[in-house]
Amino acid sequence: MAGPEGIPGPDSVVLGVAIDIPEPWGTQLVDARERYLDPTQPLIPPHITLLPPTIIPDWQRDSVLAHCARVAEDCPPFDIRLRGTATFRPVSPVVFLSVVEGISGCEQLERGVRSGVLLRRRQFPYHPHVTVAHDVCDDELDRAFEDLDEFSAKFTAESFTVSQLGFDGRWSVIDEFHLRGASLAPLRRSRV
């Protein structure tokens, strides 16, 4: 998560919603961002964004957390596999790990989170990914793209977090929501 669109006022907070990357991969990706001289590395833990930095009035914070709890109740845990690198260049100076399994689960969660009190227009179509280098020179972007091309991780997304942006630019988790929805059985087609 980078910075929010607009500037928060004195009676507002900046929140983001994400699936955190578990260990041991979380630490590996923190170390990688440090190697690529990414200035946001100490501020933003590795994650898959569900809602980018969003300015919320203070009085709506409890409603946002209640909304996220309802979303978590409806969504089942799902497997995620990260494999290989891709980039948003030339549109944005970003290299990321590709989500190759679990895209539909991420999309379901993102749609649920981005509804109700958190209904917001997207700047770009939703594309689940894990940023590994951002706003660094082209050489470092190239190095990240090459170095992590063989990266692979598989884990189960069992929760998502809501984090708040501090005055120091660091993100801090303020709540975690465990996915509790039941898996749906595939629909059978009747023969006519």
Cis peptide before 93 (omega within 30 of 0): no
Q: Is the pLDDT of residue 185 over 50?
A: no
Q: What are the structural domains of the chain? A: 13-178 (3.90.1140.10)
pLDDT digit string, tens, across residues 89-131: 988 899 999 999 999 999 999 999 999 999 988 888 999 999 9
Q: What is the largest CA-CA distance in the chain?
A: 64
0.85 cut: is pTM over it? Answer: yes
What's the confidence (pLDDT) of residue 136?
92
Cα(76)–Cα(50) distance, integer angstroms = 15
pLDDT digit string, tens, across residues 17-68: 999 999 999 999 999 999 999 888 888 999 999 999 999 999 999 999 999 9
Q: What is the pLDDT of the chain when averaged over all its residues?
A: 90
